[in-house]
Structure 1
Amino acid sequence: MSEQNQNREVLDAAMMAGHILLENGAEIFRVEETMDRICRHYGIESCSSFVLSNGIFTTAGNKREEIFAKVQHIPVSGTHLDRVAAVNQLSREIVTGSLTPAEVMEKLEQIKQMPGKSKKMQILASGVGSACFCYLFGGNLKDAAAAFCSGVLLYGYVVFLAGPYLSKLVANIGGGALVTALCTLLYMLRVGEHLNYMIIGSIMPLIPGVAFTNAIRDIADGDYIAGSVRMLDALLVFFCIAMGVGLVFGLLHRFTGGVLL
């Protein structure tokens, strides 16, 4: 393989590694550091990458090298930390010198195709997480049981309806409204005793905690544009959830006169 072709393959591999990291919830500095580490290990000193929360701009080349420029748009999406961990491990293997650029590309394709958690596992995890958060915030065992049921039904809605068919804004408004309605119904049926703890625990699976934390880290690292975009996205989700909860509470107050609240 000629040097120019090998350099292009290295740059494509660095771009794909950055794409996988950014798409799956990695911080901006981690994406830039990984791409730079891959390029420098294979002898490309002229590579420069500019990473935003939803895009990567990469250029390379000087008088002795072929000019390379590439832009990729990466929509803001969910978090898959297993893929982030796999790319981090691959970058360590690259530094040890045990992989060729072709082998790196092959491993990145395998990481890209890594399956996520099954729908049943996600729904069960949502129920368990809702119950645990409810108990952690001060609810009793009955409240936790009600939150478990609500969390299971909530993520059934997320997986089978909101994800495939609804926009992000509508999905989160509907999720907040669904949780509030379900918890209120369970409270009226005496399944739980503290409506506030039941709702708080059940809503937690919708909260974009990783995205919010990464936004703060990006801003702290000086990546103000990327951090602000992620922060705005997280705050928009919070606002939509609150809107759904407030909508149901408003309807309940209208029809019950505030007896339940």
Structure 2
Amino acid sequence: MDYKRILKEILNIGREMLRAGADVSRVEDSMYRMCKSYGFKHADIWVIYSNIQATVETAEGDIITQIRHIASTSSNFDKLDYLNNLSRRVCRQTPSPDEVANMLQEVLDRTPQPAYLEYLAGILGGTGFGVFFNCGVKDAIIAAISSIIIVFLGRRLAKTENNPLISNFIQSFIAEVFIILSVYVGFAEKSGNITVGVVMLLVSALGFTNGISDLLHKDTLAGILNISNAIIGAAGIAFGIVSAILLFKGVL
């Protein structure tokens, strides 16, 4: 049995689970179960949101260590559902490394959800929060357009920018400039209410919540990283909005 290839594919599955938004405890548990199903005598697996390390002992007594670096993560629960099912299938059937690689590639090659769903979700979220924060009809329309801007920029920046401070700064700055100018020309009335509603699309409440969950599960480093990223992202939002307001000081 090619234990090195097996461990390689197990780490590849764990890497893709992290990229799709799985928490570290789920990834570790899935990887431990897959290692056990292939008959490794012992396994030590350590996962944080930017790194996976695994050391296993084979039935012949050989020690194998492999590492994966994860540059960025996002939330894709549709893909994560298929990856969870794949890990369970691997545990049940213990396929060969080539078969595992092919099954993983099938999951990765699935047709992604259409872009209009992301735009629709952004519009509903930004506009809904805007109405919640007392926006009128005209303000709600501007909130919807601002949400489209944020989703568009987010999709573009996700391809090149992994730093939440920079990406959130760019998105919040451009959206706030649009909101301020809309109020200035009379298309909207309550810039503050619109802003509070729209920036909810950028607030990483899920990351902060997952960080607290990691701390409660004694995944201290992973929890600190998650909470730190959420705070850094919030700082980017604040800097972007403040910069736009200072740039157009006197317009409000």
TM range (shorter): 0.7 to 0.9
Q: 2:175 matched to 1:179? A: yes
Q: In the superposition, relative to structure 1, how do residues 88 and 133 fare at CA in structure 2: closer, same or farther (>3 Å)?
A: same
Residue 43 (structure 1) aligned to one of 29, 36, 39: 39
Other-structure match for 2:6: 10
**Structure 2: unaligned runs, 5 residues or longer:** none
CA distance in 2, matches of 1:33, 1:163: 28
**Deviation by residue 1:96-146 (Cα, 9 ceiling, x = unmatched):** x34523433321122233344444443343223211221233334433222
Other-structure match for 1:21: 17
TM-score scaled by structure 1?
A: 0.85
Q: In the superposition, relative to structure 1, how do residues 170 and 9 fare at CA in structure 2: closer, same or farther (>3 Å)?
A: closer
Supply the AA of the counterpart residue of 2:228. L
CA distance in 2, matches of 1:214, 1:45: 32
Contact persistence 1:79–1:210 (CA under 8 A) = no
**Deviation by residue 1:162-190 (Cα, 9 ceiling, x = unmatched):** 34455633332121111211112222344
Q: Secondary structure at the match of 2:61?
A: coil
Q: 2:127 matched to 1:131? A: yes
Contact persistence 1:172–1:241 (CA under 8 A) = yes
CA distance in 1, matches of 2:243, 2:31: 45
* Greater CA drift, 38-47 or 13-22: 38-47
Shift of 1:26: 1.0
Other-structure match for 2:102: 106
Count of residues in correspondence between the two structures: 250
CA distance in 2, matches of 1:114, 1:237: 30
Give the superposed CA RMSD.
2.3
Q: 2:48 matched to 1:52? A: yes
Supply the AA of the counterpart residue of 1:100. P
TM-score scaled by structure 2?
A: 0.88
Identity among equivalent positions (%) equals: 23
CA distance in 1, matches of 2:160, 2:35: 40
Shift of 1:228: 0.8
Shift of 1:48: 1.4
CA distance in 2, matches of 1:139, 1:45: 61
* Greater CA drift, 241-250 or 8-17: 8-17
Q: Secondary structure at the match of 1:40?
A: helix
Contact persistence 1:28–1:218 (CA under 8 A) = yes
Q: Secondary structure at the match of 1:87?
A: helix
Shift of 1:43: 2.0
Contact persistence 1:132–1:201 (CA under 8 A) = yes
Contact persistence 2:52–2:67 (CA under 8 A) = yes
Shift of 1:205: 2.4
**Deviation by residue 1:186-212 (Cα, 9 ceiling, x = unmatched):** 223443333222112222222233322
Q: Secondary structure at the match of 1:19?
A: helix
Supply the AA of the counterpart residue of 1:66. D
CA distance in 2, matches of 1:181, 1:116: 32
* Greater CA drift, 73-82 or 28-37: 73-82
CA distance in 2, matches of 1:125, 1:116: 16
